[in-house]
Amino acid sequence: MSTRIVFDWVAEFSLWLASQGFLITFVVVLIPYLFITFPVQNVIRRLLKKNDMENNDFAYPMVSGILNGVTGLTLAFVVVTLLNHHREQDAILKKEAQAIENIHMDLKHDAKMMREAERALVLYVQTVATMEFNQETRQQGSEDAVKHIDEIYKICMGIKDPLVRSHAMGELANLSAFRHQRLSGTFKSSIHPGLWVTVYLLTILTLINLIMFNSKRSGYISVSLASVAYALIMTLANQLEYPYVGPLSVSIDPLYLLLQKYENP
């Protein structure tokens, strides 16, 4: 139970960080590394000096190689996974917009039906933009968006041509599916909180390794540079974790472009 509580807290904290600006997130992420860089490093060096522990020239490259390799691979896996997840969500939003455009094209043969469809589609896009992209309401989705989809369904059912009606109903099904995928990816991270804890601990171990097997002068410089590098990578990963949150969020432009094509309801 305690592990689950920790993971839940990590997920909530990660979501909060993702909603902040890049600079704020970087500063917050850098704070624990600063403790490793200066006060913790100073204590460790004093203990090493007090106990006359000598550097082992054979052990250092072996331990360092293992830690650097594992940490680098884990960080690369996290960043690539989150980047792919971000791209997938961006593609889903574009597919959702394309499905709306395809439905509109299916109804262009009937001026009355096209006007009714435009009204419902515009209201759907406006609802998505104002409600489902709103931080307070987007988790559950908007009931109004579902109502507008129902209106579009009724309009599509009125198409006389069976082939056109079948195609329009298929595009409407795609629209609903893409909307569901978008909503499910809104607050759902593709990275388990346990992996975030693992990455954090690996970077800390790598920094401690630098402290223990480097001389005093070069150690402070090396650990400082490594801390900044790890903080930058962790900040980038966090900003990509939730595609619809923060400054690197997926753009809603594909939906807004549709509003320029259709008449206002």
Boundaries of every domain in the chain: 1-265
Residue for token pair 């923060």: 246
Q: Return the higher-pLDDT residue of 213 and 37.
A: 37
CA-based torsion, 87, 90, 95, 96: positive or negative: positive
Return the pLDDT at 173.
93
* pLDDT for the residue numbered 219: 75
Q: What is the pLDDT of residues 17-68, one digit of tens each?
A: 998 889 999 999 999 999 888 888 888 888 877 776 655 555 666 777 888 8
Contact 206, 67 (CB under 8 A): yes
Question: CA 71, CA 201: separation in Å to the nearest integer?
Answer: 9
pTM here? Answer: 0.81
Q: What is the pLDDT of residue 244?
A: 85
Query: What are all long-range contacts of 58-64, with beta carbons under 8 Å and residues at least 24 apart?
Result: 59/213, 60/213, 63/209, 63/213, 64/209, 64/210, 64/213
Lowest mean pLDDT among 1-15, 19-33, 49-63, 189-203: 49-63
pLDDT band at 238 (very low <50, low <70, confident <90, very high): very high
Backbone angles phi, psi at 68, to 5 degrees: -65, -40
Check whether 207 has a pLDDT greater than 80. yes
What is the model's pLDDT at position 58? 53
The predicted structure's pLDDT at residue 81: 94
Would you give the DSSP letter of residue 189?
A: -
**What pLDDT, on a 0 to 100 scale, did the predictor assign at position 52?**
65
Residue 31: its pLDDT value, please?
94
pLDDT of residue 23: 93
Per residue in 99-152, pLDDT tens? 998 988 888 777 778 788 888 888 998 888 888 876 666 656 778 888 989 999
CA distances (Å), origin 23, targets 13, 27, 113, 231, 251: 16, 6, 50, 11, 20
Does position 76 have pLDDT exceeding 70, yes or no? yes
DSSP letters of 13-27? HHHHHHTS-HHHHHH
pLDDT at residue 116, rounded to an integer: 84
Q: Is residue 241 within 8 Å of residue 14, measured between CB atoms?
A: yes
- pLDDT exceeds cutoff 70 at 263: no
